[in-house]
Structure 1
């Protein structure tokens, strides 16, 4: 998800297009919520090119799901499980409706704040999307909570998205940035959990 800085888009533009996988070309609507828009097609295409071979059969977590662009893209490409976390009730309901429309049985929607979700019993995910609302300083604290809380599988990949003006995020110990890009005022990163040396 990407939330802009207080802008509203007309309802007619509140849709996203899945760009790959089983549902390629399908269009989904999302609510006319303030500042909510999907991660753009070009950025998603770049991200999933980076993730070649790391989506099918994997467990995915979309922490600030918003429109669901990233989570639905992963489900379309064969992810075994996609958990979407979204605090806004109307937006969460739209995620459930779109999952039903697609027949996306791998998608599970958790209608709660990210902080509350990350205080529940952890599950280890292979792929985590972390694209919090802009201007809220949520990226690094949430990243630290994921790393410290047992949410990242040993070979996990994490996608981070934030304002380009913030520069590279500070990563927890044991995590490294392997790819980075920029689209307009948005910066995005692919982060890997470092391999643990054999004993």
Structure 2
């Protein structure tokens, strides 16, 4: 490798700036997923991306800005899914929600969910994003169903889905990671359905 090639690699110069930016976002998502916000460092993220650490400040203004782009922007728009999930029998809503949750996070690789969970203790905005995601999303789904105690139902649904996400994407319990989506839908959906529309007293 020539000295010029070495310099290019060390400084993280790529054919287009957007490539460097995307590489940093992808690397940051992985590092935040592994370490959480507090323990992740700009140096480790830059090393994972194969660029100079100065590029983090150049593109994102620092670690916080990179965290916002890599983690706090969810890989899908929950609001866009509400109408689709509500289009079907009310007594099958739990099944549709669990299937959507697993399909979307499986498709995103689970890194964003891991990063959120690992960061909530040290980054208040991460906790806020997670709370807002579930509270608004489930509340919108309950909408005009007329069920009582909606705030409690939202929290109960969140406890079920967050637990599912932690065991599959963060703690990575082997049976949960290996399980097919259909299997998990069949096992988890009845509980979620009760939280949504059943008796909770």
> TM (normalized to structure 2)?
0.25
Bigger proportion of residues as strand: 1
**Structure with higher RCO (Cα < 8 A, 6+ apart):** 2
> TM (normalized to structure 1)?
0.25
Bigger proportion of residues as helix: 2
